[in-house]
Chain A
Amino acid sequence: MQSKPIALTILDILSVISLGVATYFALVFAPTELFMGQVQRVFYFHVGTAWVGMLGFILAAIAGIIYLINKDMRWDRFEVAAVEISTMFFFITIVLGSIWARPAWNTWWTWDPRLTTAAITELIYIAYFMLRAGIEDPEKRARFGAVYTLLGGISVPITFMVIRLFRTIHPVVIGNESAAAQGGFSMSGDMVTAMLVSFAAFTIIFIDLMWHRIRIGGLQDKVEELKLKVSM
């Protein structure tokens, strides 16, 4: 294994700094929201993690398609990395959504289209890992994984649209004129700044984690290869 590249070390440091900056912007810089108070501050991490979760989801589906075309195992490693990191971030998104829902609507869970879609995506990811765990042959595992991420990638947007049809019964969080009355809010300029900082920070962290995870994937393959060589 080649030693850690300098660029990655720089990225590591950058990730830690940007996480700190994003936390500062969310907790100190952004003004306290009028209707909900402090809890609104989880919003910045909520949308930040949701954004990279979605990014990972889309990248995984694209990597799946590329893998099916050129059968290069590197794309499989990329896909697994994207799914794994995305699972982690969506978990944060969902928990933060739930924590927000509690004081805002007096319930731990709302069937909001976005939150529900995120939860279903998380279930698709769990199914994805269970599928991979059941297959011995790495090539077949990669192939089936790619097919499944592709199916997921297409079904999730349709899921979102379908769930929106049920919204008459459920509150919409943002972007609706009556949103505030239902527990949403409108954003001030500083809030938008804090949100954008959070987007940028999580993007950097995402890239950093992806890089590390792909390297681990490469290391795993190397170990497997050596095991075969030694046992021969």
Chain B
Amino acid sequence: MIEVKKLVKRFGLKTILRGLDFHVEPGEFVALLGPNGAGKTTFLRILASLSRPSMGSVKVAGYSLPNDSANVRARLGVVSHMPLLYPDLTAEENLHFYAQMYGLANYQPRITEVLEMIGLEARRKDLVRTFSRGMQQRLAIGRAVLHDPEVVLFDEPYTGLDQDASEMLDEVLRSVAAKGRTVVMTSHDLARAEDLATRFDILSRGVIAASAKREDFKDSNLLDFYKKSLES
């Protein structure tokens, strides 16, 4: 579903990603872990077509970036730590706007469906500025899956959420991921990532330093795996 070969990204003279290879099968849920400044967000922004690769090839859903970016964008949903929502519009209006931007036809039933999925049906007519951080983040997920994308990218979705809100978000994340989408998520939160993902990739110094499937290690040694791969 996602194929990245020899990806290099430079900001001026600083090299963030150095020949990164990355491969995701359809239906996988990959957690991208790594220390701050390893280039996780940069990598995700490249997958999201928001940033251009300096070198290397990136293919998402069968289309290569940046040349086929319009096709990729139509099949891609992104949730970042910022909500990407307009505070002065209601929840429904926000979804309405994005439905138009994605060229959806007859989107009204879909909007209702999405609002029910994320549990905000009752507050559809309320302004987003009155929402709590957790509700905004749920709505952001609703926004990202509105056009039923094949690939979903999550960039630190738990930033700024308390325990309850995180659990609620887990719920929504799972029901979204369960629908047979391919997911790539970056997170600091190893425990949460461990619960959700089927595969764990460690990004360190601009390359994938290690990769392991959930079934590869027996219960709860993701932390050890994480530490070991960063040391090597």
Tell me if chains A and B make direct contact, with any CB pair below 8 A: yes
Which residues of A are interface residues toward B (Cβ below 8 A)?
Answer: 137-139, 221, 224-225, 228
User: In whole Å, how far is A172's beta carbon from the nearest beta carbon of chain B?
Assistant: 47
Q: B1-24: contact bitstring with A at CB < 8 Å (1 yes, 0 no)?
A: 000000000111110000000000
Give chain B residues whose Cβ lies under 8 Å from the Cβ of A228.
Answer: 13-14
User: In whole Å, how far is B56's beta carbon from the nearest beta carbon of chain A?
Assistant: 16
Give chain B residues whose Cβ lies under 8 Å from the Cβ of A139.
Answer: 10-12
User: In whole Å, how far is A212's beta carbon from the nearest beta carbon of chain B?
Assistant: 22
New A-B pairs, 11, CB < 8 Å, besides A139-B12, A224-B13, A225-B13: A137-B11, A137-B12, A138-B11, A138-B12, A138-B13, A139-B10, A139-B11, A221-B13, A224-B12, A228-B13, A228-B14
Give chain B residues whose Cβ lies under 8 Å from the Cβ of A138.
Answer: 11-13
Q: Is the interface of B mostly helix, strand, loop or mixed?
A: strand
**A–B Cβ pairs within 8 angstroms, 14 of them:** A137-B11, A137-B12, A138-B11, A138-B12, A138-B13, A139-B10, A139-B11, A139-B12, A221-B13, A224-B12, A224-B13, A225-B13, A228-B13, A228-B14
User: In whole Å, how far is A69's beta carbon from the nearest beta carbon of chain B?
Assistant: 15
Give chain A residues whose Cβ lies under 8 Å from the Cβ of B12.
Answer: 137-139, 224
Interface size on B, residues (CB 8 A): 5
- Give the tally of cross-chain contacts (CB within 8 A): 14
Chain B's closest residue to A142 (CB) is B12
Chain A's closest residue to B15 (CB) is A228
User: In whole Å, how far is B207's beta carbon from the nearest beta carbon of chain A?
Assistant: 15
Q: Ordered nearest first, which 4 A-B pairs have the shortest CB separation? A: A138-B12, A225-B13, A139-B12, A137-B11
Give chain B residues whose Cβ lies under 8 Å from the Cβ of A137.
Answer: 11-12
User: In whole Å, how far is B53's beta carbon from the nearest beta carbon of chain A?
Assistant: 13
User: In whole Å, how far is B8's beta carbon from the nearest beta carbon of chain A?
Assistant: 14
The distance in angstroms between the C-alpha atoms of A48 and B10, with both chains bound, is 42
User: In whole Å, how far is A225's beta carbon from the nearest beta carbon of chain B?
Assistant: 5
User: In whole Å, how far is A218's beta carbon from the nearest beta carbon of chain B?
Assistant: 12
Chain B's closest residue to A224 (CB) is B13
Which residues B1-57 have CB closer than 8 A to chain A?
10-14
Interface centre among B10, B11, B12, B14 (most CB of A within 10 A): B12
The distance in angstroms between the C-alpha atoms of A224 and B2, with both chains bound, is 35
The distance in angstroms between the C-alpha atoms of A224 and B12, with both chains bound, is 10
The distance in angstroms between the C-alpha atoms of A139 and B10, with both chains bound, is 9
